[in-house]
Structure 1
C-alpha cells in the first residue's frame, strides 16, 4: 500500500482548504462512509469547520469534529482501482498512521 493510502488521525488533518478523504463515523443515519471534504476558515455562508466538497453557498454540508473518524490525502489516479477507499472500520483505540499529537 502506498504511503498516501493510509488513514490518519483527524488531529493532523490539513486545515489549509485542500480536499481530503474522510471517514464519517457510523450513526443512526447509516453505516460509515467516505466523503471528500475540506477545512473552511469560515465565510459569509457559514462558520469555520469541515465541509463536504459538494457544498455550495446556501447549501453547506458541514461535519462536526466528532462525526469524522480519520482522513487520508487524495490518492493518485488509479484507473484499474476503485473510485473510493473503504471507510476505516477499525476500533478508535487502534493505531492509525500518525500519533495525533
Structure 2
C-alpha cells in the first residue's frame, strides 16, 4: 500500500477482517458517503460480506457488493477529522447490473 491516500477498486479490498474506508454509492437514501467497513466471514448475526464497522450483534449493517464503489486503507492516526477523504465521484470502470433503475 505505497499510496495510502488513493481510492482503489473494491476487487482489491482486503477480506481479512481489517477495517478500511469505503465509498458507499449514492442511492434513494442519500448521497455518496465514506464509511468504515470490514469483511466478515459470517457468523450467527449475518452472512459473509461487507459490514459497517459500527455494526453490533442484533444490528448488523451489511453492504451488498454493488453498494460499495471503492476503498482505501485507513489513514494514519495523525490526521484530523477535517482531512477525511471525500467520497470518490469519478466514473466507474465497469457497470454493475441493476443500478440506475
TM-score w.r.t. structure 1 length? 0.86
Q: For the residues of structure 2 that align with 1:21 and 1:64, how far apart are their CA atoms?
A: 15
Match of 2:4 in 1: 4
Measured at CA, do residues 80 and 49 of structure 1 come closer, stay the same or move farther in structure 2, by a change above 3 Å?
Answer: closer
Match of 1:87 in 2: 87
* Aligned-pair CA distance for 1:79: 4.1
* Aligned-pair CA distance for 1:77: 2.3
* Aligned-pair CA distance for 1:83: 4.9
Q: For the residues of structure 1 that align with 2:62 and 2:83, how far apart are their CA atoms?
A: 23
Give me the CA root mean square deviation.
1.7
Gaps of 5+ in 1: 95-101
* Aligned-pair CA distance for 1:60: 0.3
Bigger RCO of structures 1 and 2 (CA < 8 A, at least 6 apart): 1
Q: For the residues of structure 1 that align with 2:93 and 2:72, how far apart are their CA atoms?
A: 18
Match of 1:31 in 2: 31
Match of 1:75 in 2: 75
Measured at CA, do residues 83 and 61 of structure 1 come closer, stay the same or move farther in structure 2, by a change above 3 Å?
Answer: farther
Q: For the residues of structure 1 that align with 2:88 and 2:64, how far apart are their CA atoms?
A: 18
TM-score w.r.t. structure 2 length? 0.86
Number of equivalenced pairs: 93
Gaps of 5+ in 2: 95-101
Query: 2:82 is paired with a residue of what secondary structure?
Result: coil
